Amino acid sequence: MSTSRIDQIVRHLQQDDIPGAVRLAQSAYLNNEFDPLILNLVAFGLETDGDLEGALRVLGESLAQQPDDAMAYTNVGHCLVKLARPTHALEAFNAALRIDPNLPRAHHGAGLALWMRGEHAAGDAAQRRAIQLDPNYPDPYGALAVSLAQHGDQAQSAAMADRALELNPNEIQALMLVADRLFASKAFEDCAALLRRALADPATAPLQRVSIHRKLGNCLDRLGRYPDAFEAYRQSNAYERRVYKDLFEAEDIESQPEKLKRLTAHFRSAAPMVEEVPAGHAMNGVRQHVFVMSFPRSGTTLLEQVLASHPDIIPLEEQPTLSEAMAHFFNRREGLAELMAATEAELEPWRQRYWEKVAGYLGPIEDKVFVDKQPSLTAFLPLIRRLFPHARIVFNIRDPRDVILSCFRHGFVMNANMYEYTDILTLAQLYSLTMECAHVYFETLNLNVYKHRHEEFITNFEPKTRELCEFLGLTYNENMRNFVETAKKREINTPSRDQVRAGLNTSGMAYWRNYADQLREAAEIVKPWVTAYGYPD
């Protein structure tokens, strides 16, 4: 091992010349010099270039030599964060912090992993700890600025972002907040220029590129440059698909399209359900139990806010009330047969678990009309039918081309279903399979279904709202017109939040026509449902 080479690397690091240190380390590595410092710098260079798997391989070599290297564990954690593996990343950061509890980069990384796991308060605390340990470390300022903005503290968020950019004019999280402010002020050209600057930085991580490309697409959309906007959305989804490919394309995982085909085939050949159940069975004291579903971006958020404005309705927005039951009965091939053959004694614990979750979210709801809004529940209607045979189903219908375009343009929390959204053709196929599955369910499950047309709701609000109230066994209430005020008071966790708070408008109707050329193949896939639902070509 060349001592002079290590000394040269250290001198570059002391002068904050990270690129120079990385170049020297890469040269040493190619000459079979494997000092842990060299390996960490080579891994950092690979991480910066986007070769995260390569970086993890080199970091493994480093840890094999020096198992108590806190910085190596920290670098492993940051690679895993960028690969969207927060639990494994947190294990690596915790390993680093057991060795060196005062390592700012490890606390910052742990904060990122905690946020990805939904542990927001702990994530904030980790970022503040990183700042306390190193007040000149820009990254936790930028990360905390984003968190504060998401929680409505715009003043503190701006202060944190300014500090991050003071320390590093290219700190990516803070730059994104600046871009958001430019977008909000309708400075779309300036916003697009800033986003392109961020994309030009090779250190920008894949998941950051997902967000940046999507923001760029929104800018270009507002500028009316629709082909360029679509390309930006395509790039965003391509990066996301690349990150999650190993997780959702594993051979032992049933894809969502495969699951829908299996469910559709089963119920297409099944005899219609005719079981009779006593009045009030499984209702848990509510006046009416309602599920709102269909496909994401089909107008369910607007509908929910209108329903929430009725004094006799208590809605719940997209909470995992049935997640354990869905996994138990639908993630195993034998689970469906078990569900359909289950006795009341076997079903009752699942019902109780559901109502306990609802009570935890909402408190007492007796004698109210309870609305559980979850667009993605469509595939799981057999579960709802078995657990809650008296439940009423509101099924949203919107122009399929607007639905798939909107899903392609917006970001969602990743799961097996949303993975299909990352390619416009697989998204269109998923939509068609979902609608086909729903159609078969409606014919065989003996469900009480109201088909709610989104466009008619917007253009003919009061008559359609009265019609819906009648289905729910309610009298129309004038306060339902005030849904904008309701929406402003409620926390809405979907991409539709801003549109709903803007009130009724037709700007989103037939929006797909702006992207007609880009949607040509996808539109052909969903055309049977365009025709079935009566939308014009």
Exposure of 137 in the CB half-sphere (CA atoms within 13 A): 19
For domain 3-217, which CATH number applies: 1.25.40.10, 1.10.10.60, 3.40.50.150, 3.40.140.10?
1.25.40.10
The full DSSP string for 124-187 is HHHHHHHHHH-TT-HHHHHHHHHHHHHTT-HHHHHHHHHHHHHH-TT-HHHHHHHHHHHHHTT-
Please state the pTM of the whole predicted model.
0.84
State the angle between helix axes of 70-82 and 52-65 in degrees (0 to 180), rounded to the nearest 10: 160
CB 329 within 8 A of CB 339: yes
Q: pLDDT tens track of the chain, all 537 residues?
A: 455 778 888 888 888 788 888 888 888 888 787 788 888 888 888 887 778 888 899 899 889 989 999 999 999 999 999 888 999 999 999 999 999 999 999 999 999 999 999 899 999 999 999 999 999 999 999 999 999 998 889 999 999 999 999 999 989 999 999 999 999 999 999 999 999 999 998 878 888 899 999 999 999 999 999 999 999 999 999 999 988 888 788 777 889 999 999 999 999 999 998 877 888 888 999 999 999 999 999 999 899 989 999 999 999 988 999 999 999 999 988 999 999 999 999 999 999 999 999 999 999 999 999 999 999 999 999 999 999 999 999 999 999 999 999 999 998 888 888 999 999 999 999 999 999 999 999 999 999 999 999 999 999 999 999 999 999 999 999 999 888 776 566 454 555 545 655 567 788 899 999 999 999 999 999 999 999 999 999
**Residue extents of the structural domains in the chain:** 3-217, 256-532
Q: Does domain 256-532 have CATH number 3.90.1150.10?
A: no
For residue 75, the Cα-to-chain-centroid distance in whole angstroms is 25
The whole-angstrom separation of Cα 457 and Cα 453 is 6
